[in-house]
Amino acid sequence: MSLADRDKPTGLVAARRFAELGFSIAATAGTAAALAAHGIAVDTVVAKVGEEIGVDALDLIASGKVDLVVNTPRGRGPRADGDHIRRTATRHKVPCITTVAAALAASAGIAERAAHAPRVRSLQEYHDDHQLRLEV
């Protein structure tokens, strides 16, 4: 996770949901500090792209240890990092979310999928129980 400052309040909700779903969270230093300040555990603090301290987001994604990227870029530096992160995620087929609204939706969808087994129904079955009503 790497959240722009404007996205941190709502991003905390998404991060908490991901943690409750069993995800380990890796975050950039600023995001990690915001998460930790609100009691959300961060397993890995990643360096900004090109920094020589620790592992950076690109290396972590390329290692195969990342299942989902949440990056909400803002400003010149984060946008450049975000571009590299998104390209690396795409190259390694890792889903990449760039808005907090999408992160909230993804966490809700993952939670729903974990709580209920998928069920395949025909279109006719949806209409039979009036779940989908077409008004004329």
Tens digits of per-residue pLDDT, 23-35?
999 998 889 999 9
What pTM was computed for the model?
0.79
Residue 75 DSSP code: S
Task: Name all domains of the chain by residue range, CATH numbers in brackets.
Answer: 2-128 (3.40.50.1380)
pLDDT band at 133 (very low <50, low <70, confident <90, very high): low
CB 16 within 8 A of CB 40: yes
Tens digits of per-residue pLDDT, 6-17?
999 999 999 999
Tens digits of per-residue pLDDT, 44-100?
999 877 777 778 889 999 999 999 999 987 765 545 677 888 899 999 999 999 999
**pLDDT value at residue 130:** 62
For 39, the token pair is 């009691």
What is the C-alpha separation between 73 and 84, in angstroms, rounded? Answer: 11
- Write down the residue that tokens 């939706």 correspond to: 105
69-72 sheet: strands from edge to edge: 2-3, 69-72, 96-97
